Amino acid sequence: MRAGFEKKITVLMAAAAPCVLLGTVLLMVLAEVPYQTVMILLLASGLMSLLVFGNIVRYVNQNNTLQERLALAQKGKDIVTGLPDESEFLARLDVECRRSLREFTPISVMLVGVSSERLAGTPAIHIAETLIRAVYRPGDMVSRISETRFALILPATNERAVELAERCLKDLRKLDNDETISIGLCTFQPAAGLTAAKAISRVGGLLEQAQTEGGDRVNATAEKQVDPSVIYTH
């Protein structure tokens, strides 16, 4: 409500500026002010109106961007990429771990880390788009869980997920970024003790190890299969 009211005010101000300018010129003409003075004041007023209008447009654009980001944050989305954020990722991971136990299917979790301390908007969007293109199944999930980390949940997927991780790394290398990309991956079997906390801790350790060893690599492991699993397919 408040945002809509502020937008109406800014539009009214922008519309009123030319009217005020024309009224001022008309009063000066009626008062028989010298022509040169009228033109100088007209030019100055016009420049001032353009400056005011430009500031109003910039304010409206910034306000719209802020409102869009706020709406994304309220929906559990990353404000830059629009991907699910950390809270939504953890909630979904908890569901998928319990589903894995109930349906007796494996689950693979992947973390993608960027060497930069802070990933700017455009590079983050490019990484998000690359990861989204890499997965094909409706049940898979790509998230951005921090400034420099992305996470993928791959339900009903066995150790063949390593091929997906290698493909992701290959595609990410093609991006015009100076950052080093590292990937940690683990395939979990439906055994007692499988929880979201255990999964993220295990995969986080694999990612950190890959980064410590210089990055630009996939560090993957898989638990011993307890039942014929479902492979990752296109």
pLDDT of residue 211: 95
pLDDT of residue 76: 59
pLDDT of residue 66: 43
pLDDT of residue 32: 62
pLDDT of residue 97: 95
In contact, 111 and 203? CB cutoff 8 Å: yes
Instruction: Give pLDDT tens digits along the chain (234 positions).
Output: 444 555 555 555 555 655 666 666 666 665 666 666 666 666 766 676 666 666 655 655 544 444 454 444 455 588 889 999 999 999 999 999 999 999 999 999 999 999 887 787 888 999 999 999 998 788 899 999 999 999 999 999 876 899 999 999 999 999 877 889 999 999 999 988 899 999 999 999 999 999 999 999 999 999 887 655 555 555
pLDDT of residue 232: 55
- Per-residue burial over 126-147, b if 16 or more Cβ lie within 10 Å, else e, is bbbebbeebbeeeebbbbbbee
